[in-house]
Structure 1
Amino acid sequence: MYQSIGHDNSEKKWAKWGLASSVIANVALAGAVCMVAFGNTEPTLESTAMRVAPQVAPMVHIAPRNVFQGANFRRNLRVNAEESLGFTGYIPYPDTTGASLTPLPALQDKSPYSAELQQTAAAIVADGKGILACDESTKTIGKRLEQIGVPNEETYRRQWRELFFRTPNMNEAISSAILYEETLFQNAEDGTPFVDIMKANNVIPGIKVDTGVRATFMDGETITEGIDGLAERAAKYYKQGARFAKWRGVLRIDPNGAPSMEAIEGNARALAQYGKICQMNGLVPIIEPEVLMDGAHGIEVQRWVTEKVQAATMKALSDVNIEWEGMLLKPNMILPGTDSGKTASPEDVAKNTVEGLMRTLPAAVPGITFLSGGQSEEEATRNLNAMNKLYPNAPWKLSFSFGRALQASVLKAWDGKTENVEAAQKLFYALSKANGDASLGKFEGEHPATTGSLYEKNYVY
């Protein structure tokens, strides 16, 4: 309470006023406490701002609200968001209001395939080797074949992929290949299963397991699907000979605010669930959160967004108790947006890409297999080479998982003609070796590519 320390009449006068003021203040305070404790009205947002932590963005778009709508409303939003994505199991961000609490994920047993997963992951990123990504969907490979006047028929799809798998000595720089489901169960012209041809050449078969994307959240944003039935499919693919899998989450940058936190979180959680399911069924998951090159932004924005995406993905993987040593990451390299009118040197790409990964990726992950993302064949090779040259002591192998950047020139050389197969295979071998050397930081001289830019806006496959 207020107390006087003076002794003259003036001070005694103010002491009386101080005492009265103090009594009035305490009565008002008591009244306010009673209203909060026993009142039926819900407090306003403004009155609780200092004692209630702000709600983290929910998983669905919500219009701004001017009044506090209560814990039940927030909890329902979160449940509805879970259902809209088809995910259950944990809440993406803790509810700091205390309305509900998220338990720590329980300690889980390792996959029964744990030792094999680690061996496979290490073999995929063996020194001087990388991945051939030939997992294009039937629709996408049809677009490629159309470029050379070849119809999109099973016979020609088989011939195109057999060209790669029968390339002499391909395993000198290609450790593995990601296949589309058709290819995993397909036979060569002489009746030999493709998986047997690959194994005979010491090339590990892998499989694309996502089922494509659907629109969600703001215009243009997507989430990747394929969780339903994945465990059964993964077991079937393992039995057929596949030993790793791939799932691509796609995010984009635009002036309207993409990627939203909802899109980042939704795709991160999908990647995490896919990864865990695959590990429990013997497949090394390649985690692919791709931030597209599309846009007019600079390299700084591409790096900032990519780091946010990678950090969210690592958090989601931790939440499902992923075995870090039995997975691989397939990220985009960091370049300026394709509409920015800017370019970056291989050294700038290397610096922004590797230093960003050092902030987000656990050292326990054995390797990074970069996607080319629409770069030209030469550009992708030289950027990978710069990474390994400038960061020879990076905690992970820096390798490649290229599709277009290993196929574009080869497709042109083949031209759908049997008499061109040998020449096309020699070119594929040369391109593979160039990237194998780049994964060691040893690529020098002329590049064997015969094509230029491979960029496709909003690329899907």
Structure 2
Amino acid sequence: MAHIDICGKFGAELDKTVEMMVARGKGLLAADESTSTIGKRFEKIQLENIEANRQAYRELLFTAPKEYTQFISGVILYEETLFQSTLSGKAFAELLTESGVVPGIKLDLGVKELPGTDGETATQGLDDLEKRIQKYYARGARFAKWRAVYKVSDNGLPSQLCVAQNAETLARYAAICQQNGLVPIVEPEILVMEGSHNIETSLNVTKRVLASVFQALIQHNVNLNRIILKPNMVLPGNNSPTKAEDDKKIAEYTIDALTSTVPPAVRGIMFLSGGQSEQQAVETLNAINKVNAPKPWAISYSYGRALQDSTIRTWAGKKENVEAAQKAYLEQAKKCSLAAKGEL
């Protein structure tokens, strides 16, 4: 079978985007919380979930002192945010691009239950994907994100059906992105922290899921040089009886999962924080980068809460706190950057 170049005329541009995204010591800010998710964050600071407040919060992040661009290479946006502007009228996507930060877009439309499973899910959003990508590309987005979600348990979850369905969907999404000029972030998120399973179970499930995702990507002729993988770290369940001793193995088990399944063609692996605290997410990433093993990819972060928790609490929805909140954001981004180099 002849080699199929899925990226066509976008090849050089996709290479440039990946190059910018995986720059050493830089990671991604996941600011793509849906309207309901950002609402939960606002609830904690007693702030009303209206568009003006969502816009103000995102403006705070994107207009932080220029220094933040040393630590952040790209920002994942929600659709509403991609089409918003600063109060002075500059489109957020344009503002980011001018700062040397790549704007990206969350493309999946959330999860729906898979019939015939134990509450497992498949991700929605393929139907009009090409049309939506073209609209977002025109607005300035240059990469995308799609999240698949997997439950894990000692009694065999995720099921083979869930693993296969989500791998197929992630691969189709990635192929459509590359065909239309966006670098796909492939995010198979295993909810490893939920439950009483030990770290061995998390490791086995992570390997099984990643292996199936890469098999599907290759079948769909996705160019692996032009994707970013956004996986979970290999963590024990929060209620695992052996959690304390398992915690010492996280970095090595995570590297084991990656070296067993992720081809060296992939340029960047940017971890999700998966419910870890800001400090945990930094310490674990640092430990992973310190593991003495061949690591052919850039290993960095794509954090939402783990980059924003202190920022949003400091801001508390008040104009007079914007500067202090931006300072908190910078401090956390700098810690993440050091961890991405294993220099913490």
With the shorter chain as reference, the TM-score category is over 0.9
Query: In the TM superposition, what whole-angstrom CA distance separates every residue of 1:365-421 from its partner, at most 9, and x where no partner exists?
Result: 001000000011111101111111224741000000000101111111001100000
Moved runs in structure 1, 4+ residues, more than 2 A? 254-257, 343-347
Contact in 1 for aligned 2:149/2:189 (Cα 8 Å): yes
1:380 aligns with 2:281: yes
Residue 178 of structure 1 aligns to a residue in which SS? strand
What aligned pairs does 1:132-211 form with structure 2 within 5 A after superposition? 132-168=29-65, 169-211=67-109
Q: Does 1 or 2 have the higher relative contact order (CA < 8 Å, sep 6+)? A: 2
What aligned pairs does 1:65-144 form with structure 2 within 5 A after superposition? 107-111=3-7, 112-144=9-41
Q: Structure 2, unaligned stretches of length 5 or more?
A: none
Following superposition, the deviation at residue 187 of structure 1 comes to 0.9
1:411 maps to what in 2? 312
Residue 244 of structure 2 aligns to a residue in which SS? coil
Quote the Cα distance in structure 1 between the aligned partners of 2:304 and 2:209. 22
Which of residues 301, 304, 313 in structure 1 aligns to 2:213? 313
Which of residues 440, 445, 448 in structure 1 aligns to 2:341? 440
Letter in 2 for 1:356: A
Following superposition, the deviation at residue 256 of structure 1 comes to 4.3
Which of residues 94, 115, 119 in structure 2 aligns to 1:220? 119
Letter in 2 for 1:148: I
Going from structure 1 to structure 2, the CA distance change for 1:375 and 1:207 (only over 3 Å counts) comes to same
TM-score (norm 1): 0.72
Following superposition, the deviation at residue 345 of structure 1 comes to 7.0
2:201 maps to what in 1? 301
Which of residues 231, 240, 250 in structure 2 aligns to 1:340? 240
Which of residues 372, 383, 389 in structure 1 aligns to 2:290? 389
Contact in 2 for aligned 1:369/1:399 (Cα 8 Å): yes
Letter in 2 for 1:154: E
Going from structure 1 to structure 2, the CA distance change for 1:300 and 1:125 (only over 3 Å counts) comes to same
Which of residues 325, 341, 351 in structure 1 aligns to 2:225? 325
Quote the Cα distance in structure 2 between the aligned partners of 1:239 and 1:391. 43
Letter in 2 for 1:380: A
Quote the Cα distance in structure 2 between the aligned partners of 1:159 and 1:335. 35
Letter in 2 for 1:423: A
Quote the Cα distance in structure 1 between the aligned partners of 2:6 and 2:177. 12
Following superposition, the deviation at residue 186 of structure 1 comes to 0.4
Q: Structure 1, unaligned stretches of length 5 or more?
A: 1-104, 444-461
Query: In the TM superposition, what whole-angstrom CA distance separates every residue of 1:336-362 from its partner, at most 9, and x where no partner exists?
Result: 101214135775211000111111011
Contact in 1 for aligned 2:225/2:265 (Cα 8 Å): yes
Contact in 1 for aligned 2:102/2:141 (Cα 8 Å): yes
Letter in 1 for 2:239: D
Aligned-residue CA RMSD in angstroms?
A: 1.3
Contact in 1 for aligned 2:196/2:239 (Cα 8 Å): yes
Letter in 2 for 1:195: A
Following superposition, the deviation at residue 257 of structure 1 comes to 2.8
1:429 maps to what in 2? 330
Quote the Cα distance in structure 1 between the aligned partners of 2:325 and 2:96. 18
Contact in 1 for aligned 2:6/2:175 (Cα 8 Å): no
Contact in 2 for aligned 1:336/1:344 (Cα 8 Å): no
1:276 maps to what in 2? 175
Letter in 1 for 2:87: E
Identity %: 49
Following superposition, the deviation at residue 219 of structure 1 comes to 2.3
Query: In the TM superposition, what whole-angstrom CA distance separates every residue of 1:97-127 from its partner, at most 9, and x where no partner exists?
Result: xxxxxxxx76323412112112211211100
Quote the Cα distance in structure 2 between the aligned partners of 1:124 and 1:152. 31
Contact in 2 for aligned 1:248/1:290 (Cα 8 Å): yes
Query: In the TM superposition, what whole-angstrom CA distance separates every residue of 1:260-285 from its partner, at most 9, and x where no partner exists?
Result: 00000000000000000000000000
1:251 maps to what in 2? 150
Quote the Cα distance in structure 1 between the aligned partners of 2:83 and 2:245. 42
Residue 285 of structure 2 aligns to a residue in which SS? helix
Contact in 2 for aligned 1:346/1:386 (Cα 8 Å): no
- Structure with larger Rg: 1
Point out the more displaced range, 105-114 or 186-195: 105-114
Following superposition, the deviation at residue 318 of structure 1 comes to 0.5
Residue 343 of structure 1 aligns to a residue in which SS? helix
2:261 maps to what in 1? 360
Residue 161 of structure 1 aligns to a residue in which SS? helix
Contact in 1 for aligned 2:278/2:306 (Cα 8 Å): yes
What is the number of equivalent residue pairs in this alignment?
339
Residue 261 of structure 2 aligns to a residue in which SS? coil
Following superposition, the deviation at residue 189 of structure 1 comes to 1.1
Letter in 2 for 1:427: A
